[in-house]
Amino acid sequence: MKAISCTDLSFGYGKVRVIDDVSFEVQKGESIGVIGPNGGGKSTLLKLILGLESPETGSLDVLGHPAGKGRRKIGYVPQAMRFDLLYPVSVLEIVLMGRLDRLGVGAYSKQCRLVAEESLETVHLSDFKNRTFSELSGGERQRVMIARALACEPELLLMDEPTANIDLSAEEQFIEALAGLRKNMTLVLVTHDLELVSELSDSVLCVNQHAHRHSLPLSGETIREIYSGRRRIEHDRKTRHHQGDHSVCDHD
């Protein structure tokens, strides 16, 4: 079954086209790394998958529904969380936010609390549930954000630069927590960290207005083409040619 099916997708802000004629599929249970230069459209693609933005053209189905219709089955870990350090919210209360769409009248149910505590256990933070969020290190906070996403019991987990604010000393434990999630759900990981991609992904989607799928490991030449401003156009032309799209080729 397809977790994500994207066909001829285009989207822009005003007159600026950010995503142009993008097609790709992610199978259920697959783990895919999304890489590319800054401003290439990676975070915008996540917004489209979440249904926070609507395609201008093309189609985007997520978990068998048009994007946005199955949002309850999607967990999302943002790149950064705006947070007032003076606000005394506990770790468990942060994780319970992942259950807000199941909150009835009054307090959270016993089931919600059980799921939240199980989510903290998954990221090895059970002993931290009563601490205030502001006490935690950057790596611990990011693991709490993953637990919050897991609390909605997702089939698909989207993560936007999850290691951006993590110290190197905490990164190994963080990667270990993410690796355990691969067994139970589909992962889409937006990152500049190529080591993280190699550790956690089955393949790579390179996004730079267009999108190209690459197998792992990436060659040094491919990495240079993806991130070098002078070589991105040639990388796009060459990859589209290999995929059978000759619209940008100079054939006789």
Distance CA(61)–CA(49), nearest Å, equals: 8
CB 162 within 8 A of CB 188: no
Distance CA(169)–CA(140), nearest Å, equals: 11
Higher pLDDT: 83 or 32? It is 32
Distance CA(208)–CA(223), nearest Å, equals: 13
- 223 within a domain of the structure (yes/no): no
- 174 within a domain of the structure (yes/no): yes
Place of tokens 């997520």: 62
Q: Is the peptide bond before 78 cis (omega within 30 degrees of 0)?
A: no
- 119 within a domain of the structure (yes/no): yes
pLDDT tens by residue, 90-114: 999 999 999 988 776 678 889 999 9
Q: Are strands 16-27 and 2-13 parallel, antiparallel or unpaired?
A: antiparallel
- 189 within a domain of the structure (yes/no): yes
Q: What is the pLDDT of residue 95?
A: 95
Q: What average pLDDT does this structure show over 7-18?
A: 93
- 104 within a domain of the structure (yes/no): yes
Q: What average pLDDT does this structure show over 142-156?
A: 92
pLDDT at residue 238 above 60? Answer: no
Q: Which domain holds residue 169?
A: 2-218
Distance CA(136)–CA(123), nearest Å, equals: 14
Q: What is the pLDDT of residue 172?
A: 77
- 159 within a domain of the structure (yes/no): yes
Q: What is the CATH number of the domain that holds 119?
A: 3.40.50.300
Q: For residue 55, give the amino acid letter.
A: P
Total domains present in the chain: 1
- 146 within a domain of the structure (yes/no): yes
pLDDT tens by residue, 168-183: 666 777 788 788 888 8
- 203 within a domain of the structure (yes/no): yes
pLDDT at residue 246 above 70? Answer: no
Share of the chain above pLDDT 90, in %: 48
